[in-house]
Amino acid sequence: MSTPVERWVEEQERIYKPKRVYWCDGSEAEAHRLMEAGMNEEKIGSQPVFAPLNPTNWPEAYLHHSHPTDVARTEQLTFVCHPEKDQSGPNNNWMAPDKAKAMMAKLADGAMKGRTMYVLPYMMGHPDSPYAKACLQVTDISYVAVSMRIMTRMGTHVLKRIGTSERFVKGSHSVGDFDPGRRYIMHFPRESFVWSIGSGYGGNALLGKKCFALRVASYLGLRQGWLAEHMVVMGIEDIKGRVTYITAAMPSACGKTNLAMLQSALPEYRVFTIGDDIAWMNVGPDGKLYAINPEAGFFGVAPGTSMKTNPNMIRTLKGRNFYPTLYTNVGRDVDTNEPWWEGLDGPPPNMEDWQGRPWKPGSKEKIAHPNSRFTVSLYNCPTLSKEFDNPKGVPISAILIGGRRSHLMPLVVEAFDWSHGVFMGARTGSETTAAAAGAVGVLRRDPFAMLPFCGYNMGDYFRHWMNTGALMRNPPKIYAVNWFRVDENGKFVWPGFGDNMRVLKWIIDRVDGKVGAKETAIGLVPHMNDFNMEGLPIPRSNMDKLFEIKPPEWKGEVKEIEKFFDSFGRTIPFELQTNLEKMEKALKI
């Protein structure tokens, strides 16, 4: 008798008709074989899937060029298929599940002819964690198979854990012919099933990441009473060895990875990394909120990463603990065969761009794609927390919610209470980045940085957040942060990076009840005397600018928030409306 896992894989084989089926065991020896296949057998267009990079300066490093049309998440081709449109909400594209499956079946029919179908058994979360989930993905490209080995806990042990159960998470993936017109990422949250065709790019193809660990898992969380969030998880250790754990939500490409492994500008604090993208949060038996990072790797934005901005990431990339490290759509220094991206160091002489074309010095074209990425194991990270593998997770004292706002939003604001914190999360707006296809720098609402990742109606999501607060004895404090405010000349006022520790310090002091705060119409802000500015090269007057709240500017914002909330119709919790009205009154606008 075959098991449900075997039957599902047989079904995938019947659909895709690959030349052969290969079950991955997740071992390092196997990773070497997959890399060989990617260098010598598989191709994207005329280029091999992988090319080796200089192993002396960049250990275990390989370059991957994606298909040129396949460089970011494609939100317009991403669907969440609940039985009713209203269940997916205005925040998702929707198609009826039967219709979506019929369409995908046509695209999938024979799509792996002449190719290998890799079967990837993987865990999201530590296998011993009660919060972990066992998953299976099929794919037809070595890049995805190897990336999943880095990003998840992959191995035969997962098959043992699933055993004869029907309850495993299913991901069906084929790059198809990379035709953007035949590219769809379909989610069926009620079946814990994702079907993705036509893209090999990160969030579209590594189905354990955004597709499962956020879209599908957020729906599981709604049903089961927990939260799947687009958040960093980190520990901050003070000079006495006391560690405060926090999570932080920020949209893609807004500095989550830098925050997760921040090198503190204040010598009395050290940061320990648990995750840079996804947090699963459960109320523990003691009534506290616990977070785990379900992933095991970083899929980080390369441009702007340097010894200056994120030394711990450079050290991670140069680490040797885990094979291999992948570089996707970065440039290449032809003389030294090293990866290169804007912001790494000075302009090198002889470069190939992200598509492998010679780059002419002086050209205005980017060398690395703005959304070029590295894929590297967390076990390479010098600041990895010793709690990373703790199956229970870490107890969370504060939740930060950030956005990229060049105006209006202060550096940090504390919520009056949980309900006000949920309101702050729900009204969050952010200027768009290169992580998703489409215009960059346009303001859009991105509540909890989850707009592209919530696997159900966000009105219900806000209600779920409200309810979760009531399950806790001592819920974490909630903060809105914004590192991105600019002055009259368009220059960032706040230095960011290691200096963000100053904001974290204030938050820790607040959590510990050591300092007071100033009440404003939009929340609690620091008394400047409590805010560590030692050695900060910005004048006090600029600091004041960072915390300035100009009621007239908020007029438009309030209107927009109102419109946004209205778009969810009857599902919006009344507490959000009450908080908005209170704020409007306090601003006297």
Q: How far is the CB of 426 from Mn ion (least distance, A)?
A: 19
**Pattern 234-253, binding to Mn ion, x per CB under 5 A?**
------------------x-
**Is the Cβ of residue 227 or residue 435 nearer to ligand SAT in the bound state?**
435
Interacting stretch for Mn ion, rule CB under 5 A, among 106-114, 269-277, 329-337, 491-499? 269-277
Q: How far is the CB of 429 from ligand SAT (least distance, A)?
A: 18
Task: Work out what residue 207 binds among Mn ion, ligand SAT, none; the CB cut-off runs from 5 to 8 Å by kind.
Answer: none
Residue number closest to ligand SAT, CB atom: 203
Q: Is 90 exposed, middle or buried (0-12, 13-18, 19+ CB in 10 A)?
A: middle
* Structure-block tokens of residue 175: 């790059």
Among the residues of 249-384, which ranges form H helices?
256-260, 311-317
How many C-beta atoms lie closer than 10 Å to residue 370's C-beta? Answer: 20
Question: Smallest gap, in angstroms, from Cβ of residue 368 to ligand SAT?
Answer: 15
If one asks whether residue 277 binds Mn ion (CB under 5 A), the answer comes out as yes
Catalytic residue (choose from 211, 254, 381, 454) = 254
Give the one entry of Mn ion, ligand SAT, none that residue 203 binds, where binding means its C-beta sits below a cut-off of 5 to 8 angstroms depending on kind.
ligand SAT
User: Which residue type occupies 194?
Assistant: V
Distance CA 120, CA 118 (A): 6
Tokens of 514: 């050591």
Which partner from the list ligand SAT, Mn ion, none does 202 bind, CB cut-off 5 to 8 Å by kind?
A: ligand SAT
Paired with 398 in beta bridges are 246, 477
> Minimum CB separation from Mn ion for residue 73, in Å?
9
In terms of Cβ atoms closer than 10 Å to its own Cβ (0-12, 13-18, 19+), residue 284 is middle
Q: What are phi and psi of 513, to 5 degrees?
A: 70, 25
Q: What is the DSSP letter of 86?
A: H
**For residues 252 and 430, which CB has a smaller minimum distance to ligand SAT in the complex?**
252
User: Which range touches Mn ion (CB under 5 A), out of 273-281, 375-383, 539-547, 567-575?
Assistant: 273-281
Measured CA to CA, the distance from residue 273 to residue 587 in angstroms comes to: 38
Q: Is-catalytic flag, 254? A: yes
The dihedral sign for the CA sequence 150, 156, 161, 165: positive
- Of 277 and 557, the one with the shorter C-beta distance to Mn ion is 277
Q: How far apart are CA 213 and CA 225, in angstroms?
A: 15
Compute φ and ψ for 201, nearest 5 degrees: -80, 140
> What does the binding site for ligand SAT look like in residue numbers (CB under 6 A)?
73, 202-203, 209-210, 252, 299, 435
Is position 140 an interface residue for Mn ion (rule: CB under 5 A)?
no
Q: How many CB atoms lie within 10 A of CB 30?
A: 18
Smallest distance, ligand SAT to C-beta of residue 168, A? 22
**Least distance (Å) from ligand SAT to the CB of residue 467?**
27
Beta carbon nearer to ligand SAT, 125 or 203? 203
Asked if 452 and 73 touch (Cβ cutoff 8 Å), the reply is yes
- Asked if 218 touches Mn ion (CB under 5 A), the answer is no
- Chain positions contacting Mn ion, by CB under 5 A: 252, 277
Could you list the active site residues? 254
